[in-house]
């Protein structure tokens, strides 16, 4: 009887078939599942293990049956193209890229401290880095009849997920056509993440990976691709994931007035030490670690770190791989899709009892992060990329007291 | 006798044949000639008249004889290609773009106020917007034998000017090959500026226009193009026009450690009112005007203006043309080469006797300008793109006193 009741509850809960998750994840929302790893874990490995990669679901994880799974491609002169997973894997060359994905809401919690915003209260770890393998979207669109003529009328490529809300509305988003078809855009219909089948939380069996572009356009559980004159009509493309002036509130906001977020701006954060950590005076130097990334394939070229609240700056050492391993080769210009991890050691300021540690990154277009959050505050709390600041306390050695 | 003496002086002065200039220009250096227009003039017309376009010369203006002028293209499998101006005009389609050029040192004077930097003391007007017409560099490179194979070994396109120093060294710079050959890069070998032959100060007869890229790579008086595995070895590519951390000084700087500036970051400035202007209380509202631009073809999507030192923000109206004229059509994504002019009216703050007016712009990658200058200060004073601030005084009406 109890069992029956449990099953009834289970089947009425669209989240009942969501996969199990790694216990180390910090949960922001359970249904839909949204969680980020502890920040220190991010800088432990250049490639984030899939189980620890941040999870950002808008809806229940759909259960996909591979036997009946088909990817539909529409809106091209060749008519409709329909592909099974096997066809996607065998008809198109497999291409692998290392790409960082970041949620538009990463670091929203810092905006929330300035003034309440609407959205999940992400810390600094709604960003992760993985190796993705799959067919190039460009190749699939060409097989479906894409040619230069299409660009006369079409401007966008829309994606529909297989994840649905209770009314049957699926998640959807779009990207500019030129990103989708450019040889240098590296947009993938990915079926592998870190060398294995993409896990259910990350879009099994196929997700779009749009490197350099906000997570929200990297549609998971991909069901349909539509080449179109219009952007996706979905809520998430039209009435969400856009940036506004700090003076814009829910009474005055006009979502039509701002472009949908695509490429993200320069970002960096300190993963260690944690805010509030205690440092022993005897250590003499402090080691600071973190990540830095920029959208649009712009490479991070420098990270400045201050241990005195921004009065003086040290240049961090950047890395594109783990210690003792061969770093990833330098990407061609405009195709730096992966983050850099960084580390710097600085002497403890002589007198300080409390230190404010700050990082700020620079990309190869020399874009920089803004100093403070209030001037970039926006009602949805997206694009939170001001300098990251943590405060630590210095504990005097007992012998000296 | 006097005349002979004058002629002797003249012929020994390499700048003696420099052209005449518009008297309204504010001169930063006479030899070489470097000058900017008064800021208010910039926002008077969407297209800057050539005579008022900022002038940035590194060397004397060369006198070019069209009968003997040849443009040389080297480093491609097809051998050397040599083109007269007439051949450049007739063998390749003429292409026109509107593009803003900005000197890397624009707004350097604001950095100088924080701490002395090395370089010309530019105000906010080392930036201007013009229509450029010419052959596509891409077409010329293809005629010279460029094909995808070349990209296996070549990475850069170098440019040499005909302007020389006393030792015979010419001005030189380079850009990444992918920008040069991309269909969407719009790099021109321009022979017209605003519908007329390019004036001597702007590169007659041919200059490279590399839209979205720092002025310094837009080589004037173009003599030679070299496709190469290496960047230009010129001083200006290797040991100048690079950004550094505020902590880097002339004792510690390693020019090899930073990338040559190519795409510039988001920028904006207030052209009116001028710093120190006096506003009458009776006016009740204040109108603020300026320009905004971003490198890399990123479109400016918003300008926020504060008249209370950054406490509150108003969104400015953007324009891509002059009042009463049809604005320029919206550029395709990634090809917004031209600035936006902007304007906003705001109520005078009730009690204020002095107002700090601030502008900050946002591009379509949602990159923003940093709040303050000290954290982006660098020893060469380049990339000065913090919020622009002007202070104005409010004069109480006499009737009210
Ligand atoms: Mo997101
Ligand atoms: Mo410049």
Positions in chain B whose pLDDT score sits under 70: 1-11, 398-401
At residue A397 the predicted structure's pLDDT band, cuts being 50, 70 and 90, is confident
Q: What is the mean pLDDT of residues A196-211?
A: 98
Task: Tell me if residue B340 falls in helix, strand or coil.
Answer: strand
Contact A308, A286 (CB under 8 A): no
Give tens-digit pLDDT for A140-167: 999 999 999 999 999 999 999 999 999 9
Nearest partner of A266 among A303, A297, A293, A243, judged by Cα = A293
pTM, entire model: 0.95
Q: What is the mean pLDDT of residues A228-237?
A: 97
Q: Is the pLDDT of residue A398 over 90?
A: no
> Residue B202 and residue A283: Cα distance in Å, rounded?
58
Contact A106, A128 (CB under 8 A): no
Considering only the beta carbons, identify the residue of A178, A179, A265 that sits closest to B368.
A265
The residue length of chain B stands at: 401
Q: How many beta-carbon pairs under 8 angstroms link A with B?
A: 111
Task: Tell me if residue B124 falls in helix, strand or coil.
Answer: coil
Substitution target in B111, B368, B369 with the highest count of A β-carbons within 10 Å is B368
B344 contact residues in A (CB cutoff 8 A): none
Considering only the beta carbons, identify the residue of B245, B247, B367 that sits closest to A367.
B367
B296 contact residues in A (CB cutoff 8 A): 296, 365
CA distance, residue A365 to nearest chain B CA (Å) = 5
CA distance, residue A242 to nearest chain B CA (Å) = 9
Considering only the beta carbons, identify the residue of B265, B310, B362 that sits closest to A243.
B362
Give alpha helix (H) positions in A13-84: 39-42
Q: CB neighbours (10 Å) of residue A83? A: 23
Give tens-digit pLDDT for A303-341: 999 999 999 999 999 999 998 888 888 899 999 999 999
User: What's the helix, strand, coil split of chain B in %, to 5?
Assistant: 20, 30, 50
> Residue B105 and residue B241: Cα distance in Å, rounded?
9
Q: What is the pLDDT of residue A5?
A: 62
Tokens found for residue B83: 């083109």
> Residue B179 and residue B193: Cα distance in Å, rounded?
21
Q: What is the pLDDT of residue A401?
A: 44
Name the residue of chain A whose CA is nearest to B242's CA: A366
Give tens-digit pLDDT for A28-49: 999 999 999 999 999 999 999 9
Substitution target in A368, A372, A374, A387 with the highest count of B β-carbons within 10 Å is A368
> Residue A361 and residue A312: Cα distance in Å, rounded?
15
Long-range CB contacts for residues A247-254, cutoff 8 Å, separation at least 24: A247/B304, A247/B312, A247/B313, A247/B314, A247/B315, A248/A378, A248/A379, A248/B315, A249/A379, A250/A379, A253/A379
CA distances from B90 to B68, B86, B87, B107, B287 (A): 17, 6, 5, 40, 48
Q: Tell me the residues of B at the A interface, defined by beta carbons under 8 Å apart.
A: 176, 178-179, 184, 243, 245-248, 258-259, 261-266, 295-296, 301-302, 304, 310, 312-315, 332-334, 360, 362, 364-372, 375-376, 383
**Beta-sheet strands, E only, within B255-316:** 267-272, 278-280, 285-293, 300-306, 314-315
Contact A173, A237 (CB under 8 A): yes
* A180 sits in which H/E element: helix A177-181
Contact A294, A265 (CB under 8 A): yes
A364 contact residues in B (CB cutoff 8 A): 259, 262-263
Name the residue of chain A whose CA is nearest to B305's CA: A245
Q: What is the pLDDT of residue A3?
A: 63
In degrees to the nearest 10, what's the CA dihedral of A352, A357, A362, A366? -50
> Residue B291 and residue B300: Cα distance in Å, rounded?
10
B265 contact residues in A (CB cutoff 8 A): 365-368
CA distances from A283 to A52, A184, A271, A307, A353 (A): 31, 47, 19, 14, 14
Q: Given an 8 Å threshold on Cβ–Cβ distance, is A247 in contact with B304?
A: yes
CA distance, residue A262 to nearest chain B CA (Å) = 7
In degrees to the nearest 10, what's the CA dihedral of A148, A150, A151, A156? -130
Tokens found for residue A212: 């350099």
Q: Which residues contact A41 (CB under 8 A, 6 or more apart)?
A: A24, A48, A52, A125
Alpha carbon of B79 to ligand 2 centroid (Å): 32
Considering only the beta carbons, identify the residue of A179, A312, A370 that sits closest to B368.
A370
Q: Given an 8 Å threshold on Cβ–Cβ distance, is B366 in contact with A243?
A: yes
Q: What is the DSSP letter of B180?
A: H
Q: Given an 8 Å threshold on Cβ–Cβ distance, is B248 in contact with A315?
A: yes
The residue length of chain A stands at: 401
Task: Tell me if residue B152 falls in helix, strand or coil.
Answer: helix
Give tens-digit pLDDT for B15-26: 999 999 999 999
> Residue B71 and residue B90: Cα distance in Å, rounded?
14
> Residue A113 and residue B131: Cα distance in Å, rounded?
47
CA distance, residue A104 to nearest chain B CA (Å) = 11
Considering only the beta carbons, identify the residue of B295, B365, B370 that sits closest to A263.
B365
Contact B322, B348 (CB under 8 A): no
Alpha carbon of B236 to ligand 2 centroid (Å): 10
Nearest partner of A19 among A72, A68, A61, judged by Cα = A61
Name the residue of chain B whose CA is nearest to A247's CA: B313
CA distance, residue A373 to nearest chain B CA (Å) = 10
Q: Given an 8 Å threshold on Cβ–Cβ distance, is B259 in contact with A296?
A: no
Written in H, E and C, the secondary structure of A108-150 is HHHHHHHCCCCCCCCCCCCEEEEEEEEEEHHHHHHHCCCCHHH
At residue A399 the predicted structure's pLDDT band, cuts being 50, 70 and 90, is low
> Residue B172 and residue B208: Cα distance in Å, rounded?
11
Buried b (16+ CB within 10 A) or exposed e, A376-401: bbbbbbbbbbbbbbbebebeeeeeee
Give tens-digit pLDDT for A2-26: 666 666 555 689 999 999 999 999 9
B336 contact residues in A (CB cutoff 8 A): none
> Residue B227 and residue B158: Cα distance in Å, rounded?
6
Q: Given an 8 Å threshold on Cβ–Cβ distance, is B243 in contact with A366?
A: yes
Q: Given an 8 Å threshold on Cβ–Cβ distance, is A304 in contact with B247?
A: yes
Q: CB neighbours (10 Å) of residue B222? A: 23
Q: Tell me the residues of A at the B interface, defined by beta carbons under 8 Å apart.
A: 176, 178-179, 184, 243, 245-248, 258-259, 261-266, 295-296, 301-302, 304, 310, 312-315, 332-334, 360, 362, 364-372, 375-376, 383
Considering only the beta carbons, identify the residue of A178, A245, A332 that sits closest to B334.
A178
Substitution target in B365, B374, B380 with the highest count of A β-carbons within 10 Å is B365
Nearest partner of A232 among A221, A245, A219, judged by Cα = A219
Substitution target in B102, B375, B379 with the highest count of A β-carbons within 10 Å is B375
């Amino acid at each position: 009887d109890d069992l029956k009741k449990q099953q009834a509850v289970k089947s009425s809960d669209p989240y009942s078939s969501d996969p199990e998750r790694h216990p180390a994840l910090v949960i922001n929302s359970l249904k839909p599942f949204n969680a980020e790893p502890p920040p220190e874990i991010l800088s432990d490995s250049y490639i984030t293990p899939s189980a620890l990669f941040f999870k950002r679901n808008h809806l229940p994880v759909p259960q996909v049956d591979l036997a009946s799974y088909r990817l539909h491609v529409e809106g091209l002169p060749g008519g409709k193209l329909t592909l099974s997973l096997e066809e996607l894997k065998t008809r198109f060359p497999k291409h692998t890229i290392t790409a960082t994905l970041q949620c538009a809401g990463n670091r929203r919690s810092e905006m929330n401290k300035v003034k309440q915003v609407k959205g999940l209260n992400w810390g600094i770890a709604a960003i992760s880095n993985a190796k993705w393998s799959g067919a190039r979207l460009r190749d699939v669109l060409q097989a479906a009849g894409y040619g230069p003529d299409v660009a006369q009328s079409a401007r966008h490529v829309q994606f529909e997920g297989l994840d649905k809300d209770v009314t049957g509305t699926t998640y959807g988003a779009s990207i500019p056509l030129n990103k989708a078809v450019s040889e240098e855009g590296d947009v993938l219909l990915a079926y592998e993440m870190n060398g294995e089948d993409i896990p259910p939380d990350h879009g099994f069996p196929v997700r779009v990976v749009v490197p350099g572009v906000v997570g929200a356009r990297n549609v998971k559980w991909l069901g349909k691709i539509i080449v179109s004159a219009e952007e996706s009509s979905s809520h998430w493309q039209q009435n969400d994931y856009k940036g506004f002036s700090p003076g814009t509130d829910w009474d005055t906001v006009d979502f039509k007035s701002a472009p949908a977020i695509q490429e993200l701006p320069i970002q960096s954060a300190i993963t260690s030490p944690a805010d509030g950590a205690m440092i022993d005076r005897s250590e003499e130097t402090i080691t600071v670690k973190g990540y830095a990334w920029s959208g649009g394939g712009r490479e991070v070229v420098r990270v400045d770190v201050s241990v005195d609240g921004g009065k003086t700056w040290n240049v961090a050492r950047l890395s594109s791989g783990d210690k003792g391993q061969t770093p990833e080769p330098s990407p061609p210009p405009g195709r730096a899709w992966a983050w850099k991890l960084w580390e710097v050691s600085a002497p403890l300021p002589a007198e300080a009892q409390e230190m404010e540690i700050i990082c700020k990154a620079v990309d190869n277009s020399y874009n920089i992060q803004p100093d403070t959050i209030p001037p970039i505050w926006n009602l949805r709390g997206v694009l939170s990329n001001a300098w990251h600041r943590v405060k630590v306390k210095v504990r005097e050695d007992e012998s000296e007291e």
